[in-house]
Amino acid sequence: MLKVRPQLSLSGPGMTMTKPEKSACFPDPAPIDAYGDGGFRFAGMSHIGSLLCLPTGIYAWDAARVDDITRSSLESVIKTAGKIDILLIGTGATQVFIRMPVVATLKDAGLHAECMSTGAAARTYNVLLAEKRAVAAALIAVGERPLDQ
């Protein structure tokens, strides 16, 4: 069963939405099929908001802008650092570099992070995932969230 935060919208054939214990989760890595309008499509589902794509699955992420990227917001990434060779950080519509203390925290955890626009990060994530590489992506949603969501 997929657990979803009330402010998130995950939908797809055979999906059940319930109140979450923690956050939305798809239990496996999956390519990103589309992005924009404030969310993403993957694995036949739509998600409004930002995503953490990890080797352990795809999770809702509270970051909405680069300033929201902190050690705390990346705790799930840091916990799975041993399974990740490269971390792609999609910073929104344009490339923005994350703060140096966050870079240092990731480096201390053994993670190499590459910052790029969310579109570039999603495309790069898909290529590396298809190559069976140990990749993770932290993707800030781009575009306006539709008013009817």
Question: How many alpha carbons lie under 13 Å from residue 22 in its C-beta half-sphere?
Answer: 6
Residue showing tokens 């579109």: 119
> Which tokens in the block code for residue 39?
């969310």
Pick from 135, 143, 48: nearest CA to 89: 135
Each residue's pLDDT tens digit, 23-59: 558 999 999 999 999 999 999 999 999 999 999 999 9
What is the predicted pLDDT for the residue at 18?
31
- What pLDDT score does 12 carry? 47
Q: Tokens at residue 43, please?
A: 């694995």
CA distances (Å), 86 to each of 41, 67, 133, 143, in order?
22, 21, 9, 26
For residue range 77-96, list pLDDT tens digits in order: 999 999 999 999 999 999 99
Q: What is the mean pLDDT of the chain?
A: 86
Q: What is the pLDDT of residue 24?
A: 59
| Predicted local distance difference test score (pLDDT) of residue 25 | 83
Q: Which of 21, 23, 27 is nearest to 7 (CA)?
A: 23
pTM, whole model, 2 decimals?
A: 0.83
Give the chain's domains with CATH numbers: 51-139 (3.40.1230.10)
At 61-80, the pLDDT tens digits run 999 999 999 999 999 999 99
pLDDT tens sequence across 122-136: 999 999 999 999 999
Residue 3: DSSP 8-state:
B
